[in-house]
Every structure is written in structure tokens, then in C-alpha cells.
Structure 1
Amino acid sequence: MPARVLVFAAHPDDLDFGAAGTIARWTAAGVQVSYCIMTDGDAGGFDDGQRAGIVELRAAEQAKAAALAGVTDLHFLHQPDGYLEPTHEVIRQTVELMRRIRPDIVLSMHPERAWDRIQKSHPDHLACGEIVTRAIYPAVENPYAYPELLEAGLAAYKVPYLWFYGGPGERENHFVDITDWVDTKLDAIRIHASQHPDLAGMDARVRQNLMENAARGGLPAGRSAEAFHVVGINTPETIAGF
């Protein structure tokens, strides 16, 4: 069981769809989990009447959803929705946060496009995955990358594991049984009501996806799971520099 986990998402609600069940399972076991949302989600929603306050609304939705999953440490990078790119400005912010929190596991959206359901692969999602991947190797563990961070007391840090969510199904190699946390996950997703005009349809589809994940992962019938692509970054099996 990890001690600390840092989760990245492009928009408010992304990580609730991808990993809220696993996160709730971890926090129930005493794991410290932090969220970083890269954009303000200002291009989301369906109601013209919400446009003026959409940033504040989505931040509030994410905070409430996070609390349901046992998370109170939230960070927002305030990038514009639809324009996220792997610039050095955002990579530096990502490295800084990793060095501050020093997580055992980093969760991120996947940098590869999923052709089976392209909605998983919003350009901001892909950018989030690319930003986190570039930050994890080599920047966060290289003391000469962004030297101002070292001067500020943020020493280089080697992340052990990177878990991706929301990527191509063929990449998924780890399945977490969240049967006891399905309702928590769905409660968290429902809080993002500004993004879901058909909550009943969303609920049914998420439940079905979770059961399909469990079947792919070899879990017993009737179980539900979240699926991840787990990559070892600094483990006993990895070799620095190769």
C-alpha cells in the first residue's frame, strides 16, 4: 500500500471517472492522496446561464467530489480548458508539485489516444499525460532540471510508479477491485452535475464499464474494477539511464 499518491487530471471530473473508486479505497486505508487539476474546465457544461461562474462552479464540484473520496489536498494549475499543452511552464509546475509531495505513485491521464472510444482522448487529456510523463522522467529526478526548484529547497525525487487511467484498453495491465466503493465513485461523479445532462444514463454506463473491467481483469463474476496502465519508473526492475 502506498503512503502518498498524487493524481493529475486535465479537467474537474476526469479523475472521478477514472480513479475515484481506487482513491476512496486508498484513503480508507490511510493513504494520503492529493489532486492536481490542470485546467479550470471553463469550456465545459451545457447551460449558457452558468458561463459567468463556470470556473468557480467546477472548482466547487471538484472539492465536494474529492471530499467524498477522502481527499482534501487540491491543487489547480488554472490552464485554459481546450488549450493545455506540454509547455515548460506547466511541466515545471508539475515537477514542483511532485517534489513537494514526493509520492509513491503518480496517477495521470494517458498520453496515448484510445481509438475504441475517442471521447477518452480529449486533447487536454493527452496533454496531461504527456506533461506528467515528461515531468517524471527525467525532470523530477534530475537536480539540474529547473535548478531554481533545487535552490528553493525542492530536491530531486525519483517517483517509483506511474499509473495511467483513461487510455487504450490494450495498455491496461492492472485492475483494482472497487466493488465496495462503486457507490462512492458514482456519488463523486454525480456531484459534477454541470457536466452530465443524463445522470441516469451516465450511472448505468459507468456501472457496466466497471463490471467489464473486472471481467477483463479476471475478477469473479459480479465484481467491479477500475483499470490502469502501470509503469515502473524507479523500481528494483528498472535501470537508471536505460
Structure 2
Amino acid sequence: MPEASAPSRILVVAAHPDDIDFGAAGTIATWTDAGIEVTYAIATSGDAGEAFPDTPRSEVGALREAEQTAAAKCVGVSDIRFLHWPDGRLTPSLELRRDLSRVIRQVRPERILIPSAELNLDRIYASHPDHRAVGEAAIAAVYPDARNPWAHTELLEQEGLEPWTVGETWVMSMTNATHPVDITDVFDRKVAALQAHASQIGGHSDLEGMLRTWGEGNAQRLGLAEGRIAEVFQVVDTR
């Protein structure tokens, strides 16, 4: 299905600045290189993040938004929508589902990329509660909310946003991943995107080496040639 369809618009949903770049920046670079319009919807501004010794807490959110904006440029994305939900306090609430449904109806993507809602104790950092909350809210926004005119009726009645069905949902999931995207030729842009998150990656002495190890492991696990680098996803038919 991923190769057979050729989307013109893709929406990428995440909980925090930098989530997208760790999980999918290389894939997104391949999409924008192919002429696909990509929009980011990021639930929080990362204002509860750690490692800001020289930045007043009141300025952290703006700093992280600026870093995400710079990172997005590395992979060809300029449309970034920060939803300004409280960092570290997300739940898969009806209100979050409504806000994600709003963006889906605004962007009208054929494909959406979302976090996983699963708790994986082997990869606990990827299973941050905010990631899981956004993953659960996002899949509920895809089905049934965004396509249903009777869900969040204010979106249609007050904002004029017609229902929209997203045909494909890609999930950033290591556990259930079956679809690799070869990012070897754009790997340098993934590294550059993550380097733009200077407040977050300062503790990584060998960021490129870490990302290469992860990516080569992904590629080998899903059958790509030795030495290739991949990001991997679970692809769900949500037509």
C-alpha cells in the first residue's frame, strides 16, 4: 500500500519538538524531495523539558519551537502547527482528539504519521506518557472523529471544517513495524535536523554514530542490504 499510493499531503503528529526528528526525519526528507506537502502538528512546545541551565523556564517553550522550526527546514517542512498543550500533562482527552481532528480537517492529508500508543518497557524513553497519549488521541481523531460530521460538531457548525477520511496511518512503532524506509541517501539531513535541537542533544557525544547504529539495525531487521540505514513504521489502512 505505501508504494502504490502517491499522497500529495501528509500530516505528521507528535507530542514534543524533536520527537519527529528522532523517529522520522529521514523519511520526511524523502517525501518532501518527492514533492509531497508535509505539515507538522505538535501538541506541546516542550516547555517542561530538561537541560536548560541558562534559559529561564518561561522562555523554554519558545526556544524549543524555534529549534523545531530550524529542524523542519532541514527536511523541507515549513508548515508547523504548535497546539500549545501542557508539556508532561497530556491525556487522550476528547479535547485533544478535537484539536487533532481540527488539524486533519484543515490539512486534509491522504496519509498521517503518528506516535505509538503502546507501552513498551524495553524502550521506555520512546514510551513517554505524552507520546502514548498523543498516539491514542491521534488514532481516535483518524477514526472515528475527523471523518464523522457528528463528532466535535463545533468543527463543522462553527468553523466550517468538513469531515475528512485519512486513507493511511503510519505509526512510529518499533514493536509492530513492518515497513522500512531507506534513508541512507538523506541520513545527513536527519542528523542535521536533530542537531538543530541543541538544547536536547548536548549530552550525546556521538549523535551521528548512535543514529547510524539505530538505523542500520532497523534496516537489517526488516531485510534491507547491509550498510543501509532505515526508519521503520507500522502501516495501517484507515480508508
Q: 1:91 aligns with which of 93, 97, 103?
A: 97
- Any idea what SS the aligned residue of 1:141 has? coil
Unaligned runs of 5+ in 2: 1-5
Aligned to 1:164: 171
Instruction: State the percentage of identical aligned residues.
Output: 47
Whether the aligned pair in 2 keeps the contact of 1:190 and 1:199 (CA below 8 Å) is no
Q: Which amino acid aligns with 1:147?
A: T
1:182 aligns with 2:187: yes
Deviation at 1:229, TM superposition (A): 1.0
- Any idea what SS the aligned residue of 1:138 has? helix
Aligned to 1:74: 80
Q: Which amino acid aligns with 1:39?
A: T
Deviation at 1:198, TM superposition (A): 2.5
1:149 aligns with 2:152: no
Q: Which amino acid aligns with 2:168?
A: Y
Aligned to 1:44: 49
Query: How do residues 150-229 of structure 1 correspond to structure 2 at under 5 angstroms?
Result: 150-151=156-157, 152-165=159-172, 167=173, 169-229=174-234
* Residues 65-112 of structure 1: CA deviation (Å, up to 9, x unaligned): 001110000101101110011112211111011011110111011000
What TM-score results when the alignment is normalised by the length of structure 2? 0.94
Q: CA RMSD in A?
A: 1.1
Deviation at 1:179, TM superposition (A): 0.5
Whether the aligned pair in 1 keeps the contact of 2:194 and 2:201 (CA below 8 Å) is no
Whether the aligned pair in 1 keeps the contact of 2:52 and 2:60 (CA below 8 Å) is no
Q: 1:110 aligns with which of 110, 116, 135?
A: 116
Aligned to 2:8: 3
Whether the aligned pair in 2 keeps the contact of 1:173 and 1:229 (CA below 8 Å) is yes
* Residues 191-236 of structure 1: CA deviation (Å, up to 9, x unaligned): 10101223333321111000011101111111110010111111xx
Q: Using the alignment, how far apart are the partners of 1:147 and 1:123 within structure 2?
A: 28
- Any idea what SS the aligned residue of 2:155 has? helix
> In the comparison of the two structures, how many residue pairs are matched?
232
Most deviating of 207-216 and 44-53: 44-53
* Residues 25-73 of structure 1: CA deviation (Å, up to 9, x unaligned): 1001100000011011011131232123111100000000001110000
Whether the aligned pair in 1 keeps the contact of 2:40 and 2:80 (CA below 8 Å) is yes
